[in-house]
Amino acid sequence: MADDSSRRAIQNAFSLVYGLKLPSDIYATYAFATRLRTEERPLPQVHLIAKNRITQYMGSASAYAAVLRSIDQDIEKLMDSNPEIFTFAALGSGIVDVRDFQTTGVVAFSHGTPLYNLRSGRRNVLGHRVTVHEEYRLNMVQAMSALVAML
């Protein structure tokens, strides 16, 4: 869900991997980025950021639009200050909105089945009967194919 916890998750990932905006200088000694630099190893680069769109029936929900924009603003600031960690130069080339997988994703994950192989219809998930709609499954396959094509 694209709420402020999503924004914090992205900020935390950049802190952990790149040592950016650490809560204290003491963390810098043990940071992943520091260790890689000490070993003269390159830092990983960001190729794509997938943002979870929380609705099936419309674009980014208006209640979350401000948070989604703030994530874009955070990434733009990082791209300006640390362009070397990104493989893309324009925000639109590296961020993709992906529809929430909702029931379809939960069923695929719980059964260990790829989305393209998942059958639509009634399914059992941990003792609960749920329905996988073919339209939603096809949307998820298309979304994942588009995401993979961007890598």
Q: What is the arithmetic mean of pLDDT over 93-118?
A: 87
Cα(49)–Cα(94) distance, rounded to whole angstroms? 6
pLDDT tens digit sequence for 81-105: 999 999 999 999 998 887 777 888 8
| Residue ranges covered by each domain of the chain | 46-150
Cα(114)–Cα(146) distance, rounded to whole angstroms? 15
Q: What is the arithmetic mean of pLDDT over 131-138?
A: 92
The tokens 């499954």 sit on which residue?
A: 137
Cα(83)–Cα(94) distance, rounded to whole angstroms? 12
CA distances 3 to 13, 27, 64, Å, are 16, 27, 6
Q: Indicate the average pLDDT of the chain.
A: 85
97-121 exposure pattern, b = at least 16 Cβ within 10 A, e = fewer: eebbbbbbbbbbeeeeeebeebeee
Q: Name the pLDDT band for 1 (thresholds 50, 70, 90).
A: very low
Cα(88)–Cα(135) distance, rounded to whole angstroms? 32
How many CB atoms within 10 Å of residue 141? 16
pLDDT at 73: 92
**Exposure of 1 by Cβ count < 10 A (0-12 exposed, 13-18 middle, 19+ buried)?**
exposed
